[in-house]
Structure 1
Amino acid sequence: MTQKKNNFKNVEETRITISELMLPSHANFSGKIHGGYILNLMDQIAFACASKHSGTYCVTASVDTVDFLNPIEVGELVTMKASINYVGKTSMVVGIRVESENIQTGKVNHCNSSYFTMVSKNEDGQGISVPGIIINDDIEMRRFLKAIKRIEMKKNRQEEFDSDHFTPNNYIKDLEAYNVKIDL
């Protein structure tokens, strides 16, 4: 792993906001804005935010918690706000909030919050260290801590279910309350 001088940056230094008017060409078959289009915009702002923080080219490693809370209509203004919530050695978690605004009425809806893990790369595609983050308030601290918990839960889930010691029969009772038929 190539090392880059590790310094620290305030969250505010790399916060990004973008807004875009939703056009009919962005709509799906039901007339709402296509979720894939929104994900594409989210990936772009995550890249911009992570690259601004790290000063390097960044790639998307994973996306966590994509819940579409409210549909977005054609003609609405979509605003995405991105900030660095967590930094590791070469990775950063970018928190993104998506809101839609009816520009005629001014009504704003929270449509999505998501977390993109981005990895900083050098010219050879190797991971490169990123600046640390300076936490300035309770909200930034809560976001950092929540990112740590999501990382820990993901690791624990992988260890539990991806190990060679996984035994499906140990979980049959756990599945009884679900809409599933076990036919092993």
Structure 2
Amino acid sequence: MEDKKSPADSTVTLAHIMSAHDTNLYGTVHGGVVMKLVDDAAGAAAARHAGCPAVTASVDRMSFIAPARVGDLLTVNAQVEYAGRTSMDVGVRVTAERWNAPGPATEVVTAHLTFVAVDADGTPHAVPALVPVTPQERALHERAGARRAERAASRAASRGQDGA
């Protein structure tokens, strides 16, 4: 296992053309279809960083900004933004290129997920440290660290309320 990696080392891009099979009764792509693409790309980015399989631990936030439609080319970009001892926070951005409306791609979804690296037995596995290089990577790293702290505080508060 490498000691350190940059966020760019984990970057994954998936592209998928949406078909009628992917849509709901309103003619827009099912949220679950997009969620699967997000999870696939984020999982690949986490595994790329960890150098071993990684499993989804949580979805911190998934915001649907605009609908995707039949014929749209969805591009899913995922990158590890923070790495702990065995877990990684992955940021995902999904854009749509409209086949019938030339112009720039439209942002349709943003998401933040947490993954845990695991060995063949499903036991958590240590991951390389993440070293952000660019100012943007450092800003994303800082925000991901804040989300991690919020999750930890929320878990602690929940345990206190449950008496556990």
- Scaled by the length of structure 2, the TM-score of the pair is 0.92
Partner of 2:79: 83
1:152 equivalenced with 2:149 (yes/no): yes
In structure 2, runs of 5+ residues without a counterpart are none
Check 1:93–1:46 CA distance in 2 against 1; reply closer, same or farther (3 A cut): same
User: The residue matched to 1:52 in structure 2 has which SS?
Assistant: helix
Once the two structures are superposed, the pairs formed by residues 124-139 of structure 1 within 5 Å of their partners are 124-139=121-136
Check 1:46–1:165 CA distance in 2 against 1; reply closer, same or farther (3 A cut): closer
Partner of 1:140: 137
Structure 2 distance, partners of 1:77, 1:61, is: 28
Partner of 2:96: 100
The Cα RMSD (Å) is 1.6
Once the two structures are superposed, the pairs formed by residues 25-36 of structure 1 within 5 Å of their partners are 25-36=21-32
Structure 2 counterpart of 1:152, one-letter code: A
1:40 equivalenced with 2:36 (yes/no): yes
Structure 1 distance, partners of 2:57, 2:138, is: 23
CA shift, 1:158, in A, is 3.1
The 8 Å contact of residues 72 and 100 in structure 1, kept in 2 or not, is answered as: yes
Partner of 2:120: 123
User: The residue matched to 2:94 in structure 1 has which SS?
Assistant: strand
User: The residue matched to 2:15 in structure 1 has which SS?
Assistant: strand
Structure 1 distance, partners of 2:109, 2:158, is: 28
What percentage of residue pairs aligned between the two structures are identical?
A: 30
CA shift, 1:162, in A, is 4.2
Structure 2 distance, partners of 1:160, 1:137, is: 35
Output one character per residue of 1:67-100: Cα deviation in whole Å (capped at 9) or x when no partner: 1010111111100101110000001111100111
CA shift, 1:16, in A, is 0.8
Partner of 2:17: 21
In structure 1, runs of 5+ residues without a counterpart are 167-184
Structure 1 distance, partners of 2:9, 2:156, is: 36
Rg: which structure is higher?
1
Structure 2 distance, partners of 1:147, 1:107, is: 28
Structure 2 distance, partners of 1:103, 1:52, is: 31
- Scaled by the length of structure 1, the TM-score of the pair is 0.83
Structure 1 distance, partners of 2:37, 2:109, is: 12
Aligned residues: 162
Structure 1 distance, partners of 2:2, 2:9, is: 16
Once the two structures are superposed, the pairs formed by residues 51-70 of structure 1 within 5 Å of their partners are 51-70=47-66
The 8 Å contact of residues 6 and 129 in structure 1, kept in 2 or not, is answered as: no
